[in-house]
Structure 1
Amino acid sequence: MIAAPFYVVFSLKSPSKFLMIKVMKRKVLRIRRIAYSFLTVFALSVTGIHANTMDTVYATTTEKTQAEKDAEKAQAEADLAQKQKEKEEADKEVNRLQQQTNQLQGEIDSLDAQLVDLLADISVLEAEIDDNLTQIEEMANELELARATEAKQYSDMKVRIKYMYENQQKNLVEMFVTSSSMAEFLNQIDYANSVMTYDRDLLDSYVAMRIEIEEISAELQNRQIELQSQQSQLSAKQASLNSLLTAKQAQMSDYENQLSAAKQAAAAKATEVRKARDAARAKANVAAVSGAAAGGTTSSGGSSSGGGAATGSGTSSGAGLNPGNVTGVSGSSVVAYANQFVGNPYVWGGNSLTNGCDCSGFVQQVYKNFGISLGGGRATSVSLRSVGQAVSYEYIQPGDIVCYAGHVAIYAGGGAIVEAQDTAHGITNYRSVTCHPILAIRRVV
């Protein structure tokens, strides 16, 4: 459409040839401008679509990353809840076994007391048996002596009776003849009768003594049998108590082993809970810092420039939030310098690393030593959340600034921070980086 008229114009040899060429050039230029405008609009629209698409993809990637971190946080919290439940069950088992052990110990103590009383009774009974045996032996000796005395008296009395019977007539005649009077004769007869009566009485007393000794001996023998029976019963009871006590002690040993194992299991569960709590806290910090950093990426301007300054709120672009070194100062050098002041005092509002400073003053003065400014004027835990570049928790490095609610510290590596902790502790370097919920991590070196 455009080339044909142009060709016709050049093929005509007329006076108005140059005028027509001029008109046609204007039309061509107009058409070109329209085409260029169309191409420009098309290019801009394509570029806009691409930009919008990239923003959408990046936002989607960021959202997915944040969603994954939130899911990890939720899983860590669920793991923590499960570990806490398991620890509670382990503690209940420890309490149950402890109660059973205490109850069993009470039973053992009661058996011990019964056994002590029983042994005391046995000891008393054995002493009584020994005393009874001594009395039996003594009664046996007395009985033997009584029987011998009785036999001798009986023998002597028989001899006298026989003598008097055989010589009774002679004796009576002799006593009558030799007596000076009838009274003397009667006295002699009375005397003879008295001797016979005495012998009889003496024999009767010996017999009575023997009978009494025999009765006592019989009683002692019966008592001995009774005591021995009691001794057998007490010995049987002692054997039963010893057997029961042995069984209880064996049961106690088993309970103690179970209790020890349960306590070890509870301690292990406590360790698991502590680790799960640290993991949940770390996941929460990662999610919080990542979310805060992602928000800062979409809303803040470019990163800080050189010259040692580290002001502004810029962050590194793209995912990961692991900006590189921009000052040439190593984080390990910052930590080494900060550690020189560990043990120095904490002074609220202070800015002397030697005489005392607070948390933000400590961080500001440490970086000031390396020519790095953390903003004009007095730094605070709030203002330090926007210095340098944002860092994700998983990329934290020694020398990074860790911001908490109302507190700030320097990451020292190995999961610890160096900080001006408080007036009670001063400057320290032993606390965990997750000792408080992390609000931001900033890199200025």
Structure 2
Amino acid sequence: MAAEHRMMSGRGCMAAFLAMLCTFSSGKCDEQVPLMLWTSEGSGLLSQAVPAAGHIVGVTQLNSYLETALGSSPRNVLLFLQDKMSIEDFTMYGGAFGNKQDSAFPNLEGALLSSPSSLVLPTVAWPASNAVIGQLQDQLDTSPLYLDPEMLSQLRLNASTPALLVFRLPYSTGADLMSVKEVLSGNDEVIGQVMSIMKSQSVPYTAVYTAVRPSRVSSISMDMEAGVRGGRSLLQYGDRKRERERQREKERAEKKANDRASERTGVYPPVEFKEGGAGCIMLWAENLTVSVLRGGRWERHDLTSLTFGEGVTPRLQGSLCNQSHSSLVLNYENILGHRSFKLVFTMSQRHYKVSARRWFTLDAVEIEYDGQKATFNGSRSVYAPAEYSYRCQSVTNFRYPVLVPRTSKDPANQWRVSFTDFQVGGCVSGDAVCLKPRPDNTN
């Protein structure tokens, strides 16, 4: 019976996952991501109840799943954190309906098959998946280490010492369907390499594969009966969806080109703060916008023209940087009815011995207005090696948020920030190389 249970949690795991994708009668898939969890030893996940089809796992429930799993599973945790992922990625690229030779996930399926204990959560609310690093960090009481397979091969892990090893994986958003599959196949190869390294070191582990945000932004409606009977072709579905995505992408590109042509004739330089004559903080964005909630409506103000452009010299009083911390302060006046208004980007640097390099994080974005302060945390989502800058197509606190209010009672809950094609970096070398971009692949 135990062997049969293992078979269901291994071999049947991906199959059951794909089957669940075909039994959604209707629903919005653009606000959830899948999460897969498996272990190299133990049976702690076998007792976990799999959610019913269509059930969306929230922050509290996911935390409970992880807490139960880590209570009896290895505490060397491998977190494969993809930039984007949706259940459609598995239906379109997972070799569904028996076409396994065309799957982009052979190593993932192999890991689930060989694992004595695994769990698949098809629909996790993206705020929960976005918080998974923080949840694991709290439960393991250790800081995350950001690695790649080559770095991992140089480590010597201790089974008795908890570790949170994070492998960031990209996602392609190109119109070419094959480019997405190629990226997912490359990510699957990374998973396979990591599994091989862990096996060679004989270190027990718990692995988690999920994403920061969904990869699909359109509402998907599936017919249950047609899906179960196979009457609806995934290829036909993919063709129609691809055509719609290409049309939307074309419209967005045209709008973006028109907007840029009408707003400026050239690319404006970034905001740069210098300490002792050497550049140490750089910020650039195509658009900086803030909004405040008043009387049930959002009042919006565009800060772009006050921050960037020919002849614009932003006031940076209060900015600072040193070996471990930096702060860029943009000073404004008369914004949304506030005489004094500041937008503050607070960053820090830390050296990780395991990766043998320094990493910077954008710890917070603050809005200071007439003696009040609204604080958005960003450190769990906004980070890069110190020699790079962080770049992201969209940084907001409301639509696929990268920034989150510090607390539920913080004034930040009454504010919205939106940064388009956002790039920020903070270092102390004064060398331009420290500001080369490291995209987050969300654009």
TM over 0.5: no
- Richer in helix (by share): 1
Q: TM-score range by the shorter chain?
A: under 0.3
Q: TM-score, normalised by structure 2?
A: 0.17
- Richer in strand (by share): 2
Q: TM-score, normalised by structure 1?
A: 0.17
Structure ID, larger Rg: 1
